[in-house]
Amino acid sequence: MDHDELLVFVTSLGISAWAGSHWYWRLANAGPPYSRATLRVRIVLGALPIALLVVLNSALQAGAAREVREDSVYSWLFLALGAAWLALAWKVTAWLGIDVGDDALERNNSAACVATCGALVGSMTIYGFANIGEGPTIWTTIGPAALGSVAAVGLMATYQSLSGAADAITIDRDLASGIRFAALALSSGLILGRPLAGDYVSAADTLGELFGQAWPVLPLVGSATWVERRLRPTPEQSDTLRRGLLPSLGYVALGVLDLVHLGLPTVTGAPR
């Protein structure tokens, strides 16, 4: 492990330790009301980061670079970096207007919990795809992952700015809006993440793959913005199934169809 790798490893461990201790301290000390909903929210938020890191580890063992699969130190490096990636996703979600501590925990807001979970899953999806394939250095994983994540943040910020989704989630406590936000984050992660997977060739090739293959995310975000503006919560609109789950299934279906269309990434030396 060279100096760059050691620096990334130590920095990731530091960020992960700080964020993890803060995250679980808030979960353990969430204020009243102590209702069944609050307990469910805390269980979900406590289990999700661990589950995502377990899935990430499986992805690393199945399709990461040979050196990562054969050297546990590098596996731990990218797991630590994945935990730090989740911490950054948590902070970005708060920047977008949905704070898991204040909204999901202290205010017992299930809509904020669902939206935060979707943002974390979408972020880890992008990071996980970027880890698939061979590359000469750790930066050929970090660079594409950062590129996809920045694109996702920009799109979600645009969506929030034009639709006001965060207000519907945090102020109106609209579960349907939280579900739509989560589904959009997940589908965007699938569409933006898939072009980042596969053996690294060059920065230009990575950019070309992203712009050439991830274009469906633009009509997805545009459509989701239109839907969000049409389905703003009102006393007359309270059907979570029709307003939340059905549009969300459409968002996720587009991401899955795009994934099926592009197929599995080409990875040299992956275990059979």
Query: pLDDT means per 10 residues in the chain (272 residues)?
Result: 90 95 86 65 92 96 91 94 96 93 87 95 97 92 96 96 93 93 97 94 92 95 94 71 91 95 73 47
Q: What is the model's pLDDT at position 267?
A: 66
Q: Total domain count for the chain?
A: 1
Q: What is the model's pLDDT at position 272?
A: 43
Q: Is residue 271 part of a domain?
A: no
Q: Is residue 153 part of a domain?
A: yes
Q: Is residue 113 part of a domain?
A: yes
Q: Is residue 270 part of a domain?
A: no
Instruction: Write down the pTM of the prediction.
Output: 0.92
Q: Is residue 14 part of a domain?
A: yes
Of 100, 80, 84, 237, the closest CA to residue 182 belongs to 100
Q: Is residue 269 part of a domain?
A: no
Q: Which residues of 126-161 are buried (b: 16+ CB within 10 A; e: fewer)?
A: bbbbbbbbbbeebebbbbbbbbbbebbbebbeebbe
Q: Is residue 116 part of a domain?
A: yes
- The range of the structural domain enclosing residue 149 comes to 3-262
Q: Is residue 178 part of a domain?
A: yes
* Residue 133 φ then ψ, to 5°: 115, 170
> Hey, which residues does 133 pair with through a beta bridge?
64
